[in-house]
Chain A
Amino acid sequence: MSATGSETTTDRPIEHPRVGLFVTCLADIYRPNVGLAAVALLEKVGCSVEVPQTQTCCGQPSYNNGDLAGAARTARNTIEAFEDFDYVVVPSGSCAGMLHDYPRLFESEPGWQQRARAMAGKTHELISFLTDVRGLDAVDASFARAVTYHDSCHGLRALGIKEQPRRLLASVGGLELRELNDSEICCGFGGTFCVKYPEISGRMVADKADAIAATGAKVVLGGDLGCLLNIAGRLGREGGGVSVYHVAEVLAGMADVPGLGDPPGSGGRSR
């Protein structure tokens, strides 16, 4: 794995790039607010955002379960939908990492591999795109809570995302970041791993919940919805009143809705 996250295809920044938002299947179904937050943030940094209607899933379920031909089929759909944009932006390190891996799916199809490579070169995870490509270092939002942050593994290790969300969070009015002990340790989600080995996965997420409790923060943020659903699921079961948001929701000032798995009509304190 290499830090390809900050690669750009152009030397000079484009003033108003056309950005294709790959919203991810989980955000599309579970958390449209993350997509809206992503659009708001991207527009703030001068992008014109489009959402191709033919997008579906990035293909990780197939890829990580050994069905490479299936993953390639899904990947072709994504490439066709996104290859014409200046950038492809994804509010998930895991799915962005998957798009970076697309060329591997076409070892025996040079034409597709070329297209996959070209698209991978302009694909970015949302937060690192805002900071590293668009030079954003502060946002105009406030969220007067103590929060903690979980570093999702794929974003952290495949894309080198660590400091970027912290830099932006530092500019959020009233927000206090309490670092999580073992923030770089996997939460136990792992895609289908969490249902194939639920007991092991359950132990891992319980450990994560303990570490969260130890910070005393009542809000957890992260950049990957898979991990966040897992963490929110465990915290909900424990009933300790800790809310979970995607970091983009807070950065866009859109965490004024209930957290993941919180009862509708509750919570949400940002402006």
Chain B
Amino acid sequence: MESLSHAFKERSVHALKDETLQVALNRAKDGFAVKRAKAVEGLPEFDALRDRAVAIKNHTLENLDHYLERYADAVERNGGKVHWASSAEDARRIVVEICRAAGAKMITKGKSMVGEEVGVNGALEGAGFEVVETDLGEYIIQLAHEPPSHIIVPAVHKTRGQIADLFHENHQKYGLTRKLSEVPEMVNEARQVLRSKYLEADVGITGANFLIAESGTSVIVTNEGNGDLTCSLPRVHIVTAGIEKVVPTAEDATTLLRLLARSATGQDLTTYTTFSTGPKRADDTDGPEEYHVVLVDSGRSTMLADQFREMLRCIRCGACMNHCPVYGAIGGHAYGWVYPGPMGSVLTPLSVGLKEAGNLPNACTLNGHCAEVCPVRIPLPDLLRTLRHREYQLKLGLKPLRWGLAAWVWFTSHPRIYRLGTRVQARMLATLAGRKGRFTRMPLAGGWFKGGRDLPAPQGETFMAVWTRRRKERGQ
């Protein structure tokens, strides 16, 4: 997907003013956080589970080449085919080729973030295939021609009214002409449309939450069961997955599954957990004839080798964005690329470059809520700070900020001058504020006031001045 992250500032301000979006965000607010908190409370061993998950992920990442090979061997043993895509472009090309070779017309898709990342839909549509998203949220944003705004609830930014309009507009061609208003009715209508697509589809493309190295199995979790139908009904099943999705054993996958649902939606387990291991065997009653796995690197092995390795532990649960006050205020689209919120603010600059996405690591108060809830304990604020450091070294930040910082550092490492300067500043500000006790505006400090707030004035004397005077009075 093409990045719009360079326009983060404008997009975030726009989002704050978008009343419909704010309605949707407010409705979603707290919901997931509250559910997660309840789920965690109900599982006393949650923290121990997190430690195990971290250990599993770290061990796998340390031996990633080994486990990827094991996984690939197992897939081939099962009669499937593994394709290695080093870039997004490779991944698109491979998927298109498989579909062409299969003589496909219609393709169904399960929700896949890596699919969004590499831009599978655009490539397939460009090559003349009909592509239908089967996850309800993905289906909605496909109709709206929008990218996802959240990694687990892609249409969280849409209100019920907007969805009703989209369905009304797009479902007429199926003879469904009544305008709906209730959620169950809309879900039913989407099901009705999608059902015929499942049966028509030649290829089904899904993502993977985990790839199990010992058996060559890919695992997906859904709440709608659409994943099952996408991977078992069409003739050809393609799994697209990032290389970091591999885990050694089924046991490891279950440990992570227990964390995933609780962290994401507060469920103990998602409604459907689907395991697919190769094409249909001789005595199977159903299943695809062909089974392909496209393993996507696209920057991941670079991450593995540098300071951002920990980011590869991410299991895409979305807890970090559900607890991020910045995400809560502006929603996911403002971030301008596939992955929003804290995890996206780390991943996006690493994928599309700091020059393009330099705002993202900065648009964070470092409040730490994301790291507190991350099931695999990714130190997101530290990683964001590391990106800021990289940005500083590359001199990409705003010049006035660099000058300001340099001046402050000089000032703070010259205590005598600092003492004098702060005394003058405190006195001056207090005098200027006068009887009001605060400022409603001030030259050169526009940013503060743009936030819709006044600036309290200092009391007048600095603490150091008061203290020195007192000590003199006490004769010390």
Q: Which of chain B's residues have a CB closer than 8 A to the CB of A138?
A: none
Q: Are B365 and A193 in contact (CB under 8 A)?
A: yes
Q: Are B450 and A199 in contact (CB under 8 A)?
A: yes
Q: Which of chain B's residues have a CB closer than 8 A to the CB of A206?
A: 452
Q: Scan A72-98; emit 1 where CB is below 8 A from any B CB, else 0.
A: 011011000100000000000000000
Q: Known contacts A23-B464, A28-B463, A200-B326; can you find 13 more A-B pairs with CB under 8 A?
A: A29-B458, A64-B366, A66-B393, A77-B413, A77-B415, A157-B367, A185-B369, A193-B363, A198-B450, A199-B12, A202-B453, A233-B438, A234-B451
| Interface residue tally for chain A (C-beta within 8 Å) | 80
Main SS at interface, chain B: helix
Q: Which of A51, A196, A199, A264 contacts B435 (CB 8 A)?
A: A264
Q: Which of B405, B436, B449 contacts A65 (CB 8 A)?
A: B405
In the complex, what distance in Å separates the CA atom of A64 from the CA atom of B418?
A: 21
User: In angstroms, how far is the closest chain A Cβ from the Cβ of B388?
Assistant: 3
Q: Are B437 and A263 in contact (CB under 8 A)?
A: yes
Complex interface residues of chain B between 404 and 459 (CB less than 8 A to chain A): 405-406, 408-409, 411-413, 415, 418-419, 422, 425-426, 435-438, 440, 445, 447-459
Q: Please tell me if A195 contacts chain B, counting CB pairs below 8 Å.
A: yes
User: Which of B397, B405, B436, B449 counts the most chain A CB atoms within 10 A?
Assistant: B405
Q: Please tell me if B392 contacts chain A, counting CB pairs below 8 Å.
A: yes
Q: Please tell me if B9 contacts chain A, counting CB pairs below 8 Å.
A: yes
Q: Please tell me if A215 contacts chain B, counting CB pairs below 8 Å.
A: no
Q: Scan A221-257; emit 1 where CB is below 8 A from any B CB, else 0.
A: 0000000011011101100000010000000000001
User: Which of B440, B445, B452 counts the most chain A CB atoms within 10 A?
Assistant: B452
| Interface residue tally for chain B (C-beta within 8 Å) | 71
Q: Which of chain A's residues have a CB closer than 8 A to the CB of B365?
A: 153, 186, 188-191, 193, 201, 204
Chain A residue with the shortest CB-CB distance to B368: A157
Q: Are B405 and A205 in contact (CB under 8 A)?
A: no
User: In angstroms, how far is the closest chain A Cβ from the Cβ of B249?
Assistant: 30
Q: Which of A190, A194, A260 contacts B366 (CB 8 A)?
A: A190
Which 8 pairs, one residue from A and one from B, show the smallest C-beta to C-beta distance? A190-B365, A261-B456, A195-B447, A66-B392, A202-B451, A66-B388, A233-B453, A35-B463
Q: Which of A4-12, A55-63, A112-120, A165-173 is near enough to bind chain B?
A: A55-63
Q: Please tell me if A158 contacts chain B, counting CB pairs below 8 Å.
A: yes
Contact A202/B452 with A29-B426, A53-B415, A63-B385 known, Cβ cut-off 8 Å: yes
In the complex, what distance in Å separates the CA atom of A198 from the CA atom of B16?
A: 12
Q: Which of B12, B413, B437, B448 contacts A76 (CB 8 A)?
A: B413
Q: Please tell me if B364 contacts chain A, counting CB pairs below 8 Å.
A: yes
Q: Which of chain B's residues have a CB closer than 8 A to the CB of A244?
A: 456
Q: Are B459 and A198 in contact (CB under 8 A)?
A: no
- Of the A-B pairs whose beta carbons lie under 8 Å apart in the complex, a sample of 10, sorted by A's number, is A29-B422, A67-B402, A195-B447, A197-B12, A201-B365, A205-B453, A236-B454, A237-B454, A258-B437, A263-B436
Q: Are A202 and B422 in contact (CB under 8 A)?
A: no
Q: Which of chain B's residues have a CB closer than 8 A to the CB of A190?
A: 364-367
Chain B residue with the shortest CB-CB distance to A188: B365
Q: Are A74 and B385 in contact (CB under 8 A)?
A: no
Q: Which of chain A's residues have a CB closer than 8 A to the CB of B449?
A: 198
Chain B residue with the shortest CB-CB distance to A260: B456
Q: Scan B192-225; emit 1 where CB is below 8 A from any A CB, else 0.
A: 0000000000000000000000000000000000
Q: Are A54 and B415 in contact (CB under 8 A)?
A: yes
Contact A67/B368 with A55-B415, A188-B325, A234-B453 known, Cβ cut-off 8 Å: no
Q: Are B437 and A66 in contact (CB under 8 A)?
A: no
Q: Which of B367, B379, B408, B457 contacts A153 (CB 8 A)?
A: B367
Chain A residue with the shortest CB-CB distance to B412: A56
User: In angstroms, how far is the closest chain B Cβ from the Cβ of A49?
Assistant: 10
Q: Which of chain B's residues have a CB closer than 8 A to the CB of A189?
A: 365
Q: Are B466 and A261 in contact (CB under 8 A)?
A: no
Complex interface residues of chain A between 205 and 223 (CB less than 8 A to chain B): 205-207
User: In angstroms, how far is the closest chain B Cβ from the Cβ of A93?
Assistant: 11
Q: Scan A28-48; emit 1 where CB is below 8 A from any B CB, else 0.
A: 111111111001000000000
Q: Are B456 and A232 in contact (CB under 8 A)?
A: yes
User: In angstroms, how far is the closest chain A Cβ from the Cβ of B116?
Assistant: 25
User: In angstroms, how far is the closest chain A Cβ from the Cβ of B247?
Assistant: 26
Q: Are B390 and A195 in contact (CB under 8 A)?
A: no
Q: Are B369 and A186 in contact (CB under 8 A)?
A: yes
Chain B residue with the shortest CB-CB distance to A57: B412
In the complex, what distance in Å separates the CA atom of A77 from the CA atom of B454?
A: 32
